[in-house]
Structure 1
Amino acid sequence: MLDVISFNQNTFPLIYEQDSSLPIVYFKLLFKNSGRAYDEIAGEASFFARLLNEGSDDSFFKELELRAINLSASADFETFDISIDCLKEHFPFAIKKLYSLLLKPNFSDKILSRLKNTVLGELASKNSDFDYLAKRLLDKTVYPYKEFQSSMDGDEKSIKDINLNALKRYYENLLNSENLVLCIGGDLKKDDFIREISPILELFSSKKTEKKHFDFVEVKKDTLELKKQSTQAYVYFASPAKLSLKDKDLYLAKIAIFVLGAGGFGSRIMEEIRVKRGLAYSAYARLNLCLSYERIFGYLQTKSENSSLAKNLLREIFSNFIKNGINEHEFEQTKKFMLGSSCLHYESLAKRLNIALREFYQGLKIGQLKEELKFIENSSLKDLNSYIKEHKEFEKLVFASIQNEYS
């Protein structure tokens, strides 16, 4: 359920579910507009998450482990979050430790230097990860913005530029009360939860962060990098998707993309590329919708000498899909799977809370996913194929590949 906490003239959205079936508590602080897309120096959000995951001192995580408390911070492209899960009896202690961590993060030169060495080592190892490099190449090709020019962790130059003052600015400016959404569930009454976390809410200043949005560059392009060490072609592709998370008929797009490439074996892409022609072990296309960007995104790996054939085949698959839509068998099987597997989304407290949190974050009403299942159940093949024909932008494929120089 969705609620609101009022505290010191601030209001905080609260996603809450009381569940007394087990004596556990699941808690998350989610900060909007605070991930990689909002870094002042590329990699700041991810770096600050690493810093929090070092604890406030050497005994920090030892004390948590003794009580089986899991506390971790992470950053993605749009958001930053801090999560706790533990037994109900240890929740007050977990909150006390989180308070001490957020009150005085370990902004020390020693931690900064060690984390820089760790990140730089990881980035160096990724220079020979052709799959990673191909995905990065695609992102830079279709989104020519500074926010996409390096990974979540930044690059070698940006990591060297990160300093303690930059991390302090990131913390003060982006992890603020305007961006904060609270999520709590388990064997805990709401009033008890509010009492426990009130000290933490005092730590965040009231600042506003403007949302960002990035447009897909609709240019027919096939970007290729040659690496003589590569024995395969790593092919990533994307196409624009003129869709919004709030579209009332978005469920039709989800059915369509499931048939096209998100459904594993049986999907068009897998059948044509792997089953019939043996060009790849795995091939997929997925709907990649966020608040900050929208696209269809996919991948396959094949022999370098087959990469042109595979790309041409993908173009043909997309073209035929838009032109002819899907058939009755594909439609019924996809509906059956999507409806039949829906119960798995809600099988645990953590999953239910994360679904509700995602719905709220995306500007949807709580319970939207369940309503969407009803629309899927009542959908018609005629409406779906009409919808598919309207989205000719799906055909505008952009490729980014890494393969060896002998192809």
Structure 2
Amino acid sequence: MLHQLKFKDIQVPVIFEENHDLPIFVLRLVFKNAGKAYEGDIDGLASMFARLLNEGSDESFFKELELRAIDFSANSGFESLEINISCLKEHAHFAIEKLSLLFEKVNFDENLLARLKKITLGELASKESDFDFLAKKLLNQSVFEAKEFRTSKYGDKQSLAKMSLKDLQDFYAKHLNLNELIVCGGGDFDFAEFKALITPCLSKLKIGKLEKTKTFKLSKNLKDKLLLKSESQQAYIYFASPIDFKFNDKDTHLAKLALFILGAGGFGSRLMEEVRVKRGLAYSAYAMLEANLSYQRVFGYLQTKNENAKDAKALVCELFTEFVKNGVSEDELTQARNFLLGSTPLRYESLEKRLDMALGEFYKGLELGHSLKELERIKKTSLSELNAYIKKHTELSQISFASVQNK
């Protein structure tokens, strides 16, 4: 259920589920417009601030949490920053007290920052041999021309070198505020208990300023970028194409069906069957709908032998073109529908999964329960309706590639 918490003139949305199956407490705080896309000129700032939160307020912070089996984590993404807590109900008050202390006393310490920078630099160095990481980064740099995609979320040596405690303090003051907050949680509480528990903690946050949500479009120029790595034993190929997709459209279920059949369904999907099973041109091949508030695209990848890379990319283009031109078969629609409908209980089997589903709906501006209504539309989808949708989206065949391989 959707509730509101009022702080002065600010209404903070709260997605809450009361559930007495287990004596647990779950809390997820999502700060919108606080991820990598909102770092300004210092790449890696959001990720570093999340690292700082994961160090706690002092050395005893996590020792005390671990004694009570309280899970705490902070994570930054491209759009948002999240704080997650889960524990037994009996330790909920202690967990909230520690979170309140953290909000008041983030450990802005020079020695700690120096250590975290060193750790991050080590991770970046190790990722130079992570060819999936490099290929995906190359793809993002290629298909998006915006500066927000010039590095991974960790930043790079240059941005880490100039990052200061003042930058992190400013990021905290600007982005972790009540205006940008969505609260999601529940457990063995009624809403009055839950509200009384979390309100004192959230009151430590300031009223801030709403950021304008950024949006990004894929480049209209098709790219085929190549990064040569002599030590690569195979080709790591990532690709993307645009898709005209809006969350509140009535035909979003058709996009999900189409992409499931094309490449998101694993074995049995068009890509896997044609690229791997029939042609033996890849060890794996996927393509899926990647729909965020800030950008939407079809995102795919495959791995193959270095000598097969050119043929594999050509086949992907051929399959996408044929897909748009001729659509899908009745059998493909039936199999996709059966899987999506049949797997529904798994997506709602736990409190955390149900809250995650509801949070995703609210975050995208949809009503709670939208996903279940979408499944009803999937159940009624006809072959002619789906193929008409696919043939309308000719932009799907505008594919850009980025590859890491041995020449």
Q: Partners in 2 of 1:157 and 1:274 — Cα distance?
A: 41
1:83-98 map, 5 Å: 83-98=84-99
Q: Secondary structure, in 3 states, of the residue corresponding to 2:366?
A: coil
Given candidates 297, 300, 303, the residue that maps to 2:299 is: 297
Q: Could you list the structure 1 runs, at least 4 aligned residues long, displaced by more than 6 angstroms after superposition.
A: none
**Corresponding position: 1:82 with 2:83:** yes
After superposition, what is the alpha-carbon deviation per residue over 1:268-295, rounded to whole angstroms, capped at 9, x for unaligned? 1000110011111111000001000010
Structure 2 residue aligned with 1:146: 147
Structure 2 residue aligned with 1:309: 311
Worse-matched range after superposition: 366-375 or 241-250: 241-250
After superposition, what is the alpha-carbon deviation per residue over 1:2-34, rounded to whole angstroms, capped at 9, x for unaligned? 111112232100101100111001111111111
Worse-matched range after superposition: 57-66 or 384-393: 57-66
Q: Partners in 2 of 1:269 and 1:159 — Cα distance?
A: 40
1:30 counterpart letter in structure 2: V
Worse-matched range after superposition: 227-236 or 79-88: 227-236
After superposition, what is the alpha-carbon deviation per residue over 1:221-247, rounded to whole angstroms, capped at 9, x for unaligned? 211122222121111000001111111
Worse-matched range after superposition: 205-214 or 312-321: 205-214
1:47-126 map, 5 Å: 47-126=48-127
Q: Partners in 1 of 2:244 and 2:192 — Cα distance?
A: 43
Structure 1 residue aligned with 2:187: 186
1:2-401 map, 5 Å: 2-40=2-40, 41-206=42-207, 207-401=209-403
1:290 counterpart letter in structure 2: N
Q: Partners in 1 of 2:222 and 2:363 — Cα distance?
A: 33
Alpha-carbon offset, residue 343 of structure 1: 0.8
Alpha-carbon offset, residue 178 of structure 1: 0.9
Q: Partners in 1 of 2:97 and 2:231 — Cα distance?
A: 51
Q: Secondary structure, in 3 states, of the residue corresponding to 1:178?
A: helix
2:196 counterpart letter in structure 1: R
Q: Secondary structure, in 3 states, of the residue corresponding to 2:178?
A: coil
Alpha-carbon offset, residue 351 of structure 1: 0.4
Q: Secondary structure, in 3 states, of the residue corresponding to 2:152?
A: coil
Alpha-carbon offset, residue 307 of structure 1: 0.7
TM-score (norm 2): 0.98
Instruction: Give structure 2 stretches of 5+ with no counterpart.
Output: none
Alpha-carbon offset, residue 205 of structure 1: 2.1
Q: Partners in 1 of 2:232 and 2:185 — Cα distance?
A: 47
1:186 counterpart letter in structure 2: G
Q: Secondary structure, in 3 states, of the residue corresponding to 2:336?
A: helix
Q: Secondary structure, in 3 states, of the residue corresponding to 1:300?
A: strand
Q: Secondary structure, in 3 states, of the residue corresponding to 2:189?
A: coil
1:102 counterpart letter in structure 2: F
Q: Partners in 2 of 1:25 and 1:228 — Cα distance?
A: 50
8 Å contact from structure 2 (residues 186, 194) kept in 1: no
After superposition, what is the alpha-carbon deviation per residue over 1:38-70, rounded to whole angstroms, capped at 9, x for unaligned? 112111111111111111111111111111111
TM-score (norm 1): 0.98
Q: Secondary structure, in 3 states, of the residue corresponding to 1:73?
A: strand
8 Å contact from structure 1 (residues 36, 43) kept in 2: yes
Alpha-carbon offset, residue 263 of structure 1: 0.3
Identity %: 53
Q: Partners in 2 of 1:8 and 1:183 — Cα distance?
A: 20
Q: Partners in 2 of 1:72 and 1:346 — Cα distance?
A: 23
Structure 2 residue aligned with 1:404: 406
Worse-matched range after superposition: 50-59 or 202-211: 202-211
8 Å contact from structure 1 (residues 218, 240) kept in 2: no
